[in-house]
Copies of this chain bind each other. A is one copy, B any other.
Amino acid sequence: VIAFLDTQPCCVGAQEIHDQLRGRGEPVGLASVYRVLETLAQQGLVQRLDLGDGVTRFEPARTGEDHHHHLVCDGCGKVESFADARLETVIRDVEQRSGYDVAAHDVLLRGACGACR
């Protein structure tokens, strides 16, 4: 599961991970996938993500260069990612003023993609 996650550029759901691993011959159970993800999430190694479709997704919590956020198309369900340095700066600023010890942040944009407009 860890090796698979590491090859993923963006977020994936537990069932998707399970199907992919099964597809390549790994006899792993769905419960084990969830258990691994739970452990990794607790340690902050993967980030939990909820895109609003009822499926919890996970992605490696890469530091720095690969940090990104998500754009979801309400029409076709497509998920894209984007990154913006100014956005990160402003968020870091908000975090510092919040009084919280912020462990993670997430920005979600939803709307119609170019094809669905």
Residue picked from A74, A82, A100, A101, most chain B C-beta under 10 Å: A100
Report whether B94 and A73 are in contact in the complex, using a CB–CB cutoff of 8 Å: no
Report whether B117 and A94 are in contact in the complex, using a CB–CB cutoff of 8 Å: no
CA distance A90 to B93 in the complex (A): 13
Chain B's closest residue to A69 (CB) is: B94
| Copies of the polypeptide in the assembly | 2
Q: Which residues of B contact A99 (CB under 8 A)?
A: 113-114
Report whether A71 and B98 are in contact in the complex, using a CB–CB cutoff of 8 Å: yes
Q: Is A112 interfacial (CB 8 A cutoff)?
A: yes
Chain B's closest residue to A102 (CB) is: B111
Q: Is A86 interfacial (CB 8 A cutoff)?
A: yes
Question: Would you give 21 A-B contacts (Cβ < 8 Å), ordered by A?
Answer: A50-B50, A50-B52, A52-B56, A54-B56, A84-B90, A87-B87, A91-B107, A94-B109, A95-B109, A95-B111, A100-B112, A100-B113, A101-B117, A102-B110, A102-B111, A103-B110, A103-B111, A103-B112, A106-B107, A107-B107, A107-B108
